[in-house]
Structure 1
Amino acid sequence: MELVNNLSRRRFVCALGASTLAVGPLEAKAGVAAPRALRFDNLHTGEKLAVEYFHGQRYDPAALAAINHVLRDFRTGDVGDIAPELLDLLHALVTLTGSERALQVISGYRSPATNATLVERSSGVAAGSLHMRGQAIDIRLADVALPALRKAALGMRAGGVGYYPASNFVHVDCGRVRAW
């Protein structure tokens, strides 16, 4: 899939709210946004989750809890709160790429203990990683080439984007815009 080189802010907003903008007149008057759903495949635990996490005008607490569980630290079992902003970023990214497959999760939430261990082992792990705050995820999509996924994430200018072709994943987060 070929993506536009420079995704304008307007196109990003449209991708983020594509389903929101496609509501009928009654829903628009009521301020009801279209539902947002994601599918996850945790490659370390084998767990799969398809969930509608936002509907009406709110995030679904039960759906968020299910997402927190499937994206937990697979090394320790610790569960952290995944930021809804990260979920919305993922929803926009899936919409933008046109993917029809689940997000393959390499790493979601990371406990401080796990992060400290990884920092000791690798210079490529940030001591203050946004994974520990539920604001970062390492992913790939089976039906989107890794360079195209990276390009789409960079074009969104919605947070940090790390590219790890040797490990076959892209890091995205809802922190400040930066790339490595």
Structure 2
Amino acid sequence: MKTGGLYAATTANRDRRLAIKNMHTGEYLDEVYWHGGDYLPEAAGAFNHLMRDHRRDETCTMDPALLDLLNAVHRHVDAPFGIELYSGYRSPETNRELRKHNKGVAKKSYHMRGMAADIRIPGVSLEATRKAAIALGRGGVGYYAKSGFIHVDTGWVRHWCG
């Protein structure tokens, strides 16, 4: 892990890229989403589509800070493979349906605001991914070992085990 002002200064203007596979649709996207100090609208649209509610085929504008968080977690663990996405955006209807079957689904889930993702990084343990996300201190981190993923969001800083 690299930390400190020099590292931050040297990486501030580097391109930001994400490689994500949606595990429900099989779609894969490997794209630069931030270049030259700006988020790229076309890339944002592509990630909005990839991270859509696959049950209802609905998209929302994903929080750019979530893309940055996913990028930071991936860099922190220095993974050779991309991110597996299990849940990104969820419509309120989908969230209600999921809550009927799983009380662990939050009533006011950050997924409904495009601010959360449930992920796994192949080749990296869930525990290592969890520790990396917590170390970044950028939002919520849920550890779901039995389900095989971690939850990250851009809400207030907290962590839990589900």
TM-score normalised over the length of structure 2 = 0.93
Read off the aligned partner of 1:160 and give its amino acid letter: G
Q: 1:99 aligns with which of 49, 73, 79?
A: 79
SS of match in other structure, 1:105: strand
Read off the aligned partner of 2:10 and give its amino acid letter: A
Counterpart of 1:76 in structure 2 is 56
Counterpart of 2:70 in structure 1 is 90
Report how far residue 21 of structure 1 moved: 3.0
Q: Any gaps of 5 or more consecutive residues in structure 2?
A: none
Q: Any gaps of 5 or more consecutive residues in structure 1?
A: 4-9, 24-31
Counterpart of 1:6 in structure 2 is none
- The list of structure 1 runs, each at least 4 consecutive aligned residues, that deviate by more than 3 angstroms after superposition, is none
Read off the aligned partner of 1:73 and give its amino acid letter: D
Counterpart of 2:141 in structure 1 is 161
Query: Which is higher, the Rg of structure 1 or of structure 2?
Result: 1
Q: RCO (CA 8 Å, sep 6+): is it higher in 1 or 2?
A: 1
Report how far residue 101 of structure 1 moved: 0.8
Q: Equivalences for 1:15-94 in 2 at 5 Å?
A: 21-22=9-10, 33-94=13-74
* Aligned equivalents of 2:120, 2:37: Cα separation in 1: 29
* Aligned equivalents of 2:44, 2:122: Cα separation in 1: 24
Report how far residue 22 of structure 1 moved: 2.6
Report how far residue 148 of structure 1 moved: 0.6
8 A contact 1:72–1:80 mirrored in 2: yes
Give CA-to-partner distance per residue, 1:88-128, whole Å, 9 cap, x none: 11111111100121110000010111001111221100010
* Aligned equivalents of 2:78, 2:9: Cα separation in 1: 17
SS of match in other structure, 1:22: helix
Overall identity of the aligned pairs, in %: 44
Read off the aligned partner of 1:127 and give its amino acid letter: K
Give CA-to-partner distance per residue, 1:113-167, whole Å, 9 cap, x none: 1001111221100010000111000000001111110111111111000000101
